Amino acid sequence: MITPIKSVLLGALILLISAPELLAQRNVSYRELASQNRAPGLYIDHTVIKADEGEPNVWLHYRFGYDVLRFRQVSGGAADRFEATAELSIQIFDATGVREPEDIRRGTAIKTLTWRGRAQASGFDKTSRADLFLNANLSAQLPAGRYAYATSITLDGRPLQLRRNMRMFTVPDFTEPGSTPVWFAYPAEESSSDRFGLINFGRSVLYAQDFDALLLLPDPERTYSLRVNQVDAATRDTSVIRQVFEAEITPETIRRISRMQISEQSGAQPFLEVDEAETGSTAAASYLAQITIPNRKFENTSFIIQVKDGDTLVAERFFRNLWLDIPTSLLNIDVAIRKMEIIMDRDAHRELRRGNEQQRIANFRAFWQARDPEPESDYNPVMVEFFRRVDIAFERFTTPNQPGYDSDQGRTLIRFGEPDRITRRLPAGSPAVEVWQYSDREFIFEATSGFGEYRLLRSNRL
C-alpha cells in the first residue's frame, strides 16, 4: 500500500537525461548517489528590462540555498539559533567585440556592485535545507551593448570557489527589431496582473510547476506563435527532440504598457511591476504578452521557448527543469529498479531488469504508468512517494550493519507508509520492543543490537 502525498511528473525518470554520467554507471550504488545528490544550491541570473531614463535597467539575481551557506551557532536565547553571512562583489565589464568571457579580465571594470546579507535559522535541521534561501538583487543602469560580470562570493568570511564566475549578457536597444526579451514568472493570480514574481533559479524553473512567459513584443497588431521544444542540452547546438507545447499570441491578448520596473518584496524576491497605459494615451508604450507554460506536463529535462512572427524568430529562451527534492534513486535507472524488488515478486523483478538501458527505462515506465492515478497528465505521485520512502528509510534506519531500506522497519515503512502510532516497550531482562500500529494491522519489532537495529517478530491483522 503506497499512499500518494505529493505530485511530480512521471517524466522524472527522464531526469536521467540531466545526469548522463550517473545513468552510465550501471554498478553505481544508492550510497554513492546519495553522496552526489542534494548538491548545494547557488543560482545566479540576470534580468534586463526597458526602463525609464535614469532608472536601473539591469538586475543581477543571486539565490543562496541554506545548504550552501556556512551557518554558525549563536549563543544566548532559549532556542538554538544559527546565523550565516554572505558577501558579494560584482564587477561589470564592457564586452563589446569579445567572444569569450575570460578574455575580459585584462580590462577595467566599468561598475562595481557590492552586497552583504545575513540568514538566520531557528534550528540545526534548517541549516541544510535546500528549499530555504537567502536572496540578493543588485541593480545597475547601462546603455545598450554587450557586457560581462564577474562574481566574487564570501561566505562567513571565507571565499567560495565558483566553477564559472564570469557571465555575459546583452542590454538591447529596445527600439531596434530583434530585441524581444522573455522573462519567466510565477503564475499570476489574474491575467491582468500588474505585478509578476520573477523566477530566479539561474537558467532553471521549478520542476512540475507551471509558470508564465512574459514577452515584450514589437508589433501589437500581429499574431505570434509560441512553441516550447524539448532539446538535447548535452549537445552544444541544443538539438530539438520534439515540440511539447504551442500557443498563439493574438492582438487581443497583448497589453499596452507605459512603464515597467523591478522591485524587491518579502524575502528579497524580485518582482516585475508594470503600469498599463491609459486608454487614448499617445505616449510611447511597450506591448506585453503573458502566456502560461504548462510545465507540470513536461519531462525533467531541457527546453527552448521560441516566439515567431510567421517564419521570423523574434524571441528565444532556454530553460531546464530543477527538482529541488528529487528522490535519490531516480538519479540512476538501475538503482531505481533495484529498489523496486521491495514491492515486486522475484520473477516480475527479474523481467524488469532485462534488456539494455533503453529497454529497462521502458520497462520501468510501463510498470509505473500502470499504477498512475493521474493518467491524463505526466504526474505520477505513487511512483515518487515510493522512492521518497526509500530515502526516508535510508536516513532513519541505516546502521553500521545495513542500509535502512534493507532493514525490517525500513521495508515496512516503504510498503505501508508511516504508522498511525508507535509504542515502545522495555521489558525487564529482554530486548526493547516496538509496535507499529496501522488502521488494519500491526507490526511488532524486537531490538537486536545497541545500534538501533530491529527485526520483525510478527505482524497481526486488526
- Give pTM, 2 decimals: 0.83
**Per the domain annotation, does 462 fall within a domain?**
no
Is residue 318 located within the same domain as residue 333?
Answer: no
Same structural domain, 286 and 372? no
Assess whether 333 and 391 both reside in one domain: yes
3-state SS, one letter per residue, for 78-146: CCCEEEEEEEEEEEEEECCCCCCHHHHCCCCCCEEEEEEEEEEECCHHHHHCCCCEEEEEEEECCCCEE
| Cα of 153 vs its chain's centroid, Å | 22
- State whether 320 and 335 are in the same domain: no
- Residues 138 and 180 reside in one and the same domain: no
Q: With contact defined as beta carbons under 8 Å apart, do 381 and 5 qualify?
A: yes
Does residue 21 lie within any of the structural domains? no
Query: Distance (Å, rounded) from C-alpha 84 to C-alpha 390?
Result: 32
Judge if 298 and 215 occupy the same domain: yes
Same domain, 317 and 334: no
Number of domains in the chain: 3
- End residue of a domain, out of 272, 292, 325: 325
| Residue 310 maps to a domain | yes
Strand partners, 454: 447
49 Rama sector, left if φ>0, alpha if ψ -120 to 50, beta otherwise = beta
Q: What is the pLDDT of residue 174?
A: 87
* pLDDT in the model for residue 26: 61
Residue 246 lies in a domain: yes
Q: Which three cell numbers stand for residue 446?
A: 524486537
Same domain as 319, residue 346: no
Identify the domain boundary among 171, 195, 211. 171
Would 436 be classed as within a structural domain?
A: no
Answer whether residue 5 is part of any domain. Answer: no
pLDDT of residue 80: 77
Supply the CATH number for residue 271's domain.
2.60.40
State the Cα–Cα distance between residues 230 and 241, nearest whole angstrom. Answer: 6
> Alpha-carbon distance 337 to 345, whole Å?
13
Q: Give the pLDDT of residue 13.
A: 40
Q: Where among 294, 325, 356 does a domain terminate?
A: 325
Q: Measuring CA to CA, which residue among 205, 307, 304 is closest to residue 248?
A: 307
104 within some domain? yes
SS3 (DSSP) at 290: strand
Same domain for 64 and 164? yes
b (16+ CB within 10 A) / e for 102-137: eebeeeeeebebeeebebebeeeebbbebebbbbbb
Q: Do 163 and 219 sit in the same domain of this protein?
A: no
Burial class (CB within 10 angstroms; exposed 0-12, middle 13-18, buried 19+) of 227: middle
User: What is the span of the domain harbouring residue 167?
Assistant: 39-171
* Residue 260 CA: distances (Å) to CA of 143, 146, 200: 17, 22, 18
Distance in angstroms (rounded) separating the CA atoms of residues 334 and 11:
16
**d(C-alpha 63, C-alpha 40), whole Å:** 11
Cα 60 from chain centroid (whole Å): 19
Judge whether 22 lies within some domain: no
Identify whether residues 151 and 245 lie together within a single domain: no
Statement to judge: residues 352 and 241 lie in one domain = no
Local mean pLDDT, 10-residue blocks, the chain (462 residues)? 35 38 63 77 93 93 93 77 95 86 76 96 88 94 94 95 88 83 87 86 91 92 95 76 94 92 86 88 83 91 94 93 89 94 95 92 93 79 95 94 94 97 90 95 92 91 84
Task: Tell me what pLDDT residue 39 has.
Answer: 64
